[in-house]
Structure formats: C-alpha cells, structure tokens
Amino acid sequence: MAINGAMDEISRLVPDVAQLVRVTARLLTALFIGTAIGLQRELTHKPAGLRTHMLLGLGTALFIVGAAEAGMAVDTLSRIVQGLATGIGFLGGGAILKLTNEREIHGLTTAAGIWMTAAASAAAGLGQIAVALIGTLFGLLVLIVFHRLEKGLGHRARKDMENHPPHGDPDPKDIA
C-alpha cells in the first residue's frame, strides 16, 4: 500500500507528453515575448532591458501555468491575473522618475512596456498564444515605429516650447 502511494505521487510529478508540450509551449512563448520586448529596450539603452523583460515574461507565465496545471478554478486564475496586473503595475511604477528641475517625467514607456510584457505573457500562460503574439507584435510596432514618429515630432515640440514656454507651478497663495 505504501508503494502504491509512492508511485501515485511520483506519477503526479512526471507530466505526460501532452502536458509537457503544452507547458513548454506556453513558457517558451512567454520567454519569447520577454526577449522581443527586452531586446528592443536593450538596443535603445533603456534601464529595463533584455534580462528584466525575459524574467518578467517567464515569471508571469509561471504564475498562470503553475496555477492552471494544479487544477485551480477559473475564478482563482482570474484573481491571480488581477494580482499580477496590480503587482506589475507597482513594479512599473518604480521605473518612473520625475525630474522636478527639468519638469520632466522619465520611464513611462519603460513602465508601460513592463506591463505589456506581463499582459502578453499572462495570455501565453493561459494558452492564448495567438493573442499573446499579436499583442507583442503591436507592442513592438508602438515601440519601434512610433518612436521614430515621436522623434520627428520632438523637433517640432522643442520649437513650440521655445516660442511658448510652460507656465510654472501656481503660487500656493493664488490657490487659497
């Protein structure tokens, strides 16, 4: 009887081929998503680069795949996704830096890229690989193509700023 119990436990530890393929495909997709977004960020010399995005994608998918493969109910998976969205938002918030002297905010795109990578990886973890890859493709489109557009517009924005400087912060006495 003890031998049967031990064999049952071992058989639960070793997945069947279909499960192994399913889990591997989901995790590899999440790793690919993190690699694609991370590589773009690395090539543009951003603080959250290749390894950060790879680990983020893989970790996000592991939360989802691990729970799903353990047989957790859909409502439980929903709560895991909600927790991930909140937690990743907090992580992305740490990438945002406000420079008060220059009145500039830096890191918003990095934070958004972190959040998008997690969302696409969560979709991959849920088995929605096509959705994850399409979302990643759109994310890369925004990061690459629209970056060029922004640079072109930036020249015009700088000229506009020279002609119309921002009005500083209001005097607290004027607000009261």
Residue 171 lies in a domain: no
Q: What is the pLDDT of residue 169?
A: 53
Average pLDDT, the chain: 86
- Burial classification of residue 133, based on how many CB atoms lie within 10 Å of its CB (0-12 exposed, 13-18 middle, 19 or more buried): middle
Q: Is the residue at 35 inside a domain?
A: yes
For the chain, what is the domain count?
Answer: 1
Residue numbers of the domain that contains 42? 17-163
pLDDT at 78: 95
Sign of CA dihedral 51, 57, 61, 63: positive
Q: Is residue 158 part of a domain?
A: yes
The reported pTM is 0.78
Cα distances (angstroms) measured from residue 117 to each of 18, 92, 129: 26, 11, 13
For residue 97, give the 3-state DSSP assignment.
Answer: strand
Tell me the pLDDT tens digit for each residue of 136-174.
999 999 999 988 888 888 756 555 555 655 555 555 555
